Amino acid sequence: MRTHRTDGSMRMSRTKPKIARETAYIIRSAQSGIARVVGLGPLILFSSDTGDAWLLDWQDKSALCLARCGVQQQFNIIETGQGFAIEWTSDYEIVGNLMTFQDTSGNAVSIQGYPTAVILQTARRLAEDG
């Protein structure tokens, strides 16, 4: 069962995806310039051909940058046999092909070129499955 988050906090979930394996995979994809989108329960991971990688909570619209321009970023994800916790650093919004991220201090950046249609399609599929 998931608990609700407040900005800057960790949120625990009892689902058991392999977060470490999937984040490493999506970061490698970004570093190789391969755009991918992976749905994983309440999470979506994606990479872009520009070397960026993100982890998203499609239900809460939370985001965590995993890589930027092929360089892995520092992030805090704790995974145990009982669940996982993610220290979210941003919220996101998708409007058309524009993706906007706002961090906890209120700074916002909008990026074009991410696979927004596939991200939205993946979120719809996960919502139907779940």
Looking at residue 15, what is its pLDDT? Answer: 43
* pLDDT of 55 above 90: yes
Span 7-20, pLDDT tens digits? 343 344 444 458 88
Looking at residue 17, what is its pLDDT? Answer: 53
Looking at residue 81, what is its pLDDT? Answer: 76
Looking at residue 8, what is its pLDDT? Answer: 40
Selected residue with higher pLDDT from 79 and 105: 105
Tokens of 110: 């909008």
- Helix residue ranges, H only, the chain: 19-31, 116-129
Tokens of 20: 């470490």
Contacting residues for 33 by C-beta, under 8 A, at least 6 apart: 49, 50, 51, 70
* pLDDT of 129 above 90: no
